[in-house]
Amino acid sequence: MSVQKIKTLSLVVLAWVSLNSVALAQNPKPGKLKMSVSPKQAYTFVDGKAIGPGNRTIKLDVGTHRVAVANYGYKFVEQDVSIGRECLLEPYVYVKRWTTMGNRNEISAGTVLGTDPLDKAFTGHRSYLRIGDGNRIREHYTVSRGTKPETATEIGNDNYIMTSGHIAHNCRIGNGAVIASCALVAGYVEVEDQVFISGGALIHQFSRIGRLAMISGNTRVNLDAPPFFTYTDTGKYIEAKGLNLVGLRRAGLTHDEITALKTAYRLLYRSGLKLEDALARIEAEALTDHARQLVAFIRQSKRGICRE
């Protein structure tokens, strides 16, 4: 933990650290909290008890603990943070107040989680960032909390988020997604499970990206992108370019399921049919759960979907 020095005031960095156990009743093993403090003479306190100065590893029982770092001549900083077990936070990671993180997350150097929203409508009230389990967020990344009071930005489980990008306020990121370096995800965006967003992509606010879609590099997503397809930027609007075959096969879709999605793609983008007529044909001819998911996604779209 590192803080900014100012005159006369004493520093206190305060966090609520929650250590969880899958088998709490049967096997309540203590967890470990590794502290890296600056300046080196700063003291760590746990539940009001002084532990000692400098960097150290502390054993803590399962439960929620009040952790503080204090040193004379530094300002007061308070945070309400919950971090699950087996998380790794590299140096210069800043986890800000009202951030909750599950288990086994790896956060690389220079990342800031729970920043105030980049939104002029933000009033400073309490809002949240909620992160699930098993995520990897690489160097120099920022994720904002919600804009309106008591709202949240949510990141699910097992996502791989690469370097030097931003996820804005009130986004919802599903599970197993990849967001490559320098991608920017604007406010209120929804990214479904197993999406692949390539480097430099720009996701417009309120857009939705469907499950197992792949967004190519430097693409501007300015309309909803239905699931299972690959998309690129034609200079004006996002455009579908076929099935995300690599992603579909990796996800375990069968030959028949992929064939049904090929039929759905042809009806949606190659038949010349009006949208409602194409959806009706898909419902009649592509009889799989994935095709039904595709139709449901399109019917729920508020921004409209990209069509060639």
The count of residues in the chain is 308
Task: Please measure the distance between the N-terminal and C-terminal CA atoms of the chain and give it in whole angstroms.
Answer: 50
pLDDT above 90 for 43: no
Q: Is residue 238 part of a domain?
A: no
Q: Is residue 96 part of a domain?
A: no
| CA 298 – CA 294 distance, rounded (Å) | 6
Q: Is residue 285 part of a domain?
A: yes
pLDDT above 60 for 23: no
Q: Is residue 131 part of a domain?
A: no
Q: pLDDT value at position 27?
A: 58
Q: Is residue 136 part of a domain?
A: no
Number of domains in the chain: 2
Q: pLDDT value at position 19?
A: 52
Q: pLDDT value at position 71?
A: 77
Domain boundary among 54, 79, 104: 79
pLDDT in tens, 58-113: 888 877 777 777 776 664 444 688 888 889 988 888 889 899 999 999 999 999 99
| pTM summary value | 0.80
Instruction: Give mean pLDDT, residues 115-132.
Output: 96
**114 and 95 in contact (C-beta within 8 Å)?**
yes
Q: Is residue 262 part of a domain?
A: yes
| CA 180 – CA 147 distance, rounded (Å) | 25
| CA 130 – CA 80 distance, rounded (Å) | 12
Q: Find the CATH number of the domain harbouring 287.
A: 1.20.1180.10
| CA 33 – CA 221 distance, rounded (Å) | 40
Domain that holds residue 29: 1-79
* Average model confidence (pLDDT) across the chain: 88
Q: Is residue 291 part of a domain?
A: yes
Domain boundary among 26, 45, 79: 79
Closest CA to 187 of 209, 174, 172, 165: 172
Q: Which of 51-55, 122-126, 283-287, 303-307 has the lowest mean pLDDT?
A: 51-55
With a pLDDT cut of 70, the percent of the chain lying above it is 88
Domain boundary among 55, 79, 103: 79
The pLDDT confidence band at residue 48, using thresholds 50, 70 and 90, is: confident
Closest CA to 244 of 201, 207, 210: 210
pLDDT in tens, 156-175: 999 999 999 999 999 999 99
pLDDT above 50 for 25: no
Q: Is residue 162 part of a domain?
A: no
Give how far the C-alpha of residue 45 lies from the chain's centroid of Cα atoms, to the nearest Å: 31
pLDDT in tens, 177-217: 999 999 999 999 999 999 999 999 999 999 999 999 999 99
